[in-house]
Structure 1
Amino acid sequence: MDVSRQTIDAENTHGSPRRFVFGLLDQFSMLSFASALEGLRIANRMSGKTLYTWLLASENGACIRCSANTEFQVDCGFDEMRRDDTILVCAGIDVQKASNKKVLNWLRREARRGAKIGGLCTGAFTLAKAGLLDGKRATIHWENQDSFLEEFEDIELTKSVFVIDGNRYTTAGGTSSIDLILKLIADDHGEELANAVADQLIYSSIRTDQDTQRLSIPTRIGVRHPKLSMVIKMMEENIEEPISPSILSRDVGMSTRQLERLFRRYLNRSPKRYYMELRLQKARNLLMQTDMSVINVALACGFASPSHFSKCYRSHYSTTPYRERGAQATRLSF
């Protein structure tokens, strides 16, 4: 798939167009990339001027594939860019493998030269690995939050759809790229143009950096029951040190038996089983996305015994944590 760069209009009455460089990493998210690019294209169309131009770059200047296995031609490699460029790193699955030494050195060099740099979807991991988010606020896709927190303790991770902290931008993935680009368009050329772009995108609810990325608990589970939502929220916030069903039920003002019936009725499982699935889901994310030892993963997910962790993991995922880690290492080696 060929996405050609926009021709620069030297007669632009707003001065030189702002240029974006999309640094495409292997297996990048097409949705996150396309959402950002389309916003820029439509801004040009709605204004009748070339306000924005763009380049597509890959590590070696060669064609690159997104996570949907579609191939993109690019304009250049990870070369020296202009000082006033805005670089957006587009990443997706297997971002750890894609964030290699050459990519990190390129970003560090461009940061020293003063470029504005952002990460779309899991691109925040790449920026963090390069040391470009130290001491800053950032966000990343909710599925990668646990592993990000374990690896980058000096970064203030939020659950926002996007974060702008100085000359660093991060988004949560998916359509959150639209929200970031609309914010940049509004800052550059006013709210009216940003709203016109949103209208063209049939994007009826523009989110800000105060909006969180995940659906509310009632929406996620398809059940609107306030006490059930409260219990699930407590479970999600206490993975490392699980709370007993008796305390959970007491805190929401019901008996343990009533809590059991509530979970059976709406979720077709016991509170204990639901809690276990939450903990195992986090464990799987940590195994797949970090280099944490299996023992430390077990402890981070509330398992005092590695053998108990392995038994529960095998029962749920039909494989052991060690085999899961080995399978992931094999995938990343190709």
Structure 2
Amino acid sequence: MKLRNQRLLQDVTCSRSAPLDVAFVLLEHFSLPAFTSGLDALVTANLLRDDPFYRLHTCGLNDGSVRSDLGIDIMPGLTLAELDPAQCDLLIVCGGYRVMLEEIPKLNDLLRRAAQQGCRLGSLWNGSYFLASAGVMEGHRCTIHPENAALFSETFPALELSRAPLVVEEARLSSASAASALDMMLEGMRQRHGEDLARSVEEILACERPATPSPWHVEQTLPAPDSHLPEALRSILELMSSNLEEPLSMTDISHCVSLSRRQIERLFTRHLDTTPSRHYLEMRLTRARQLLTQGNASITDVTVACGFVSTTHFSHCFRDYFGMSPTRARQRC
């Protein structure tokens, strides 16, 4: 309680550390809810004493304002050229649903210099894509928004992508959505300032916790089978999800789950109102749509990555399902 009340206490014994510099790099169409959730934790911590725990900075790629995903423009205090990573304790790349996932050379340069100088690096939503693009994620785990997981895995196959809502290591922090951004910042706060400060911020913000606690580092957020489905069906769906590039035959699936083909078909009809082969195809087409609309992979590469025997077959299936060709889908997005 002393920490929560130290602003008004005259004989505070809590240690007085110098403020840590935290910089948020705002990309065009960044997630405003994710940014403000993460920022809220730090601002709240600063309210607990006259000398702030953090000095906060916002940074844009260029001069001028940056438009958020909600259409609200934010005017950053710095540009990339003006930000000195040697002065930062933590540098966070703020992504969002409509952020273009493509290489940004000057951001790569900043992130590499920051990593070399021992600055911690973080990401919100799909910001970990840019950390990976800069080559600063080797030896580190990270997470990313579920919609961008397919592209990340295809582009950076050597990196370990977690299915957790957030991953917090000593030197790297990542959050997959606005909902987990606050928890990511609180975990980072615990690393630097200890449990008392983080707990005080949690209490002030009235952070809600699930009735049945689940460790943040194991909670699943990437697409996973509905927990209400029968265990056998969930196992089949997991098998399908893990084998999109080289689809399993029904015989293989039947052998893996020790069920007959007819039993499997009944499960899909009863619980998903579809056939196993149709559902498997839709999973592969969904992955194809993600790869096509978020990256620059060729149609041939997408065809192979999603387990189709030829580009002609892939294009035919894609058009039947989405009502347009793969090329048209890419142009629309």
- TM-score w.r.t. the length of structure 2 is 0.86
Distance 1:64 1:169 in 2: 23
SS at match of 1:83: helix
Among 191, 195, 210, the alignment partner of 1:191 is 195
Unaligned runs of 5+ in 2: 1-13
Distance 1:44 1:203 in 2: 21
SS at match of 2:271: helix
- Report the AA paired with residue 209 of structure 1: H
Among 151, 156, 161, the alignment partner of 1:152 is 156
The equivalent of 1:307 in structure 2 is 312
Q: Are 1:30 and 2:32 an aligned pair?
A: yes
Q: Are 1:139 and 2:143 an aligned pair?
A: yes
- Report the AA paired with residue 160 of structure 1: A
The equivalent of 1:211 in structure 2 is 219
Paired residues in the alignment total 315
Q: What CA deviation, in whole Å up to 9, does each residue of 1:4-48 have, x standing for no partner?
A: xxxxxxxx9522111211110101111221111111122233567
Question: Shift in Å at residue 89 of structure 1?
Answer: 0.8
- TM-score w.r.t. the length of structure 1 is 0.85
Matches within 5 A, 1:177-326: 177-199=181-203, 200-205=205-210, 207-214=215-222, 216-219=224-227, 223-326=228-331
Q: Are 1:119 and 2:123 an aligned pair?
A: yes
Question: Shift in Å at residue 149 of structure 1?
Answer: 1.7
Distance 1:99 1:69 in 2: 23
The equivalent of 1:83 in structure 2 is 86
Q: What CA deviation, in whole Å up to 9, does each residue of 1:104-130 have, x standing for no partner?
A: 223333333432221211111111111
Distance 2:250 2:257 in 1: 11
The equivalent of 1:4 in structure 2 is none
- Report the AA paired with residue 235 of structure 2: M
Distance 2:175 2:144 in 1: 6
Unaligned runs of 5+ in 1: 1-11, 329-334
Q: What CA deviation, in whole Å up to 9, does each residue of 1:264-283 have, x standing for no partner?
A: 11111111111111000001
CA contact (8 A) 1:198 1:204 kept: no
- Report the AA paired with residue 212 of structure 1: Q
Question: Shift in Å at residue 289 of structure 1?
Answer: 2.0
The equivalent of 1:8 in structure 2 is none
Among 71, 74, 90, the alignment partner of 2:73 is 71
225-234 vs 79-88, greater mean Cα deviation: 79-88
CA contact (8 A) 1:142 1:172 kept: yes
Change in CA separation of 1:97 and 1:289 when aligned onto 2, cut-off 3 Å: closer
